[in-house]
Structure 1
Amino acid sequence: MDDKQTQSLVAKLIGTGAALAAAFVVQQVLAQAWKAKTGHKPPKADDQGDAGLSEVVAAAALTGALVAMARVLATRGTARFTARVDSKPNLNPTD
């Protein structure tokens, strides 16, 4: 495997990790904000709770939109970072 493929693989792994971490953080923040506003956790698909349809739809839409946005921003940020790192000259004299 050449150096460019290794860098590309590393960039993909870092991007995936950043996207997953961003999605997790958004879900945690959203759950805390929802609990502060409503007094209970947001409804989930497998809950047999008393949540009405409008509350389930609002929670799903808000969660989906914020998680998707966080994943896109994390992936783009990682791509920019790795492109910047890849564009720097290799200063290792042994190569």
Structure 2
Amino acid sequence: MADEETQSTLAKVAGLVVAGGVAWLATKAVDTAWKAASGHKPPKPEDDADDIKIGEVVAAAAITTAVVTFARIFATRGTKKFMQRVDRNRRLPS
């Protein structure tokens, strides 16, 4: 029982680390694509509000959220499948 709990905890930690890294990479990819398309970085909360159009803020938030969410979902699923494979291989008799 303790071994299963350890594996479950390890899978959760690995999933969190991978999902966090993928979310960061996805955000950087959106920032780069936005800059290539518009000539400037997407708006951030700390930017001066006088220079930002509301439509641009909404578009940047929607695009970033969608890309990060999809990336995290696929990373979490992939990590889960990987951990299941590792666990299955550990249980095979040698």
Which aligned segments of 4 or more residues in structure 1 are displaced greater than 3 angstroms?
Answer: none
The answer to whether the aligner puts 1:4 opposite 2:7 as a matched pair is no
> Which runs of 5 or more structure 2 residues have no equivalent in the other structure?
none
Q: Which structure 2 residues correspond to residues 21-32 of structure 1 after superposition, within 5 A?
A: 21-32=21-32
Shift of 1:90: 5.1
Shift of 1:70: 0.6
Q: Comparing both structures, which one devotes a greater share of its residues to helix? A: 2
Please report the RMSD computed on the Cα atoms of aligned residues, expressed in angstroms. 1.5
**Structure 2 partner of 1:57:** 58
Q: Which structure 2 residues correspond to residues 31-42 of structure 1 after superposition, within 5 A?
A: 31-42=31-42
The AA in structure 2 aligned to 1:36 is A
Shift of 1:87: 1.4
TM-score by length of 1: 0.89
Q: Number of matched residues? A: 92
TM-score by length of 2: 0.90
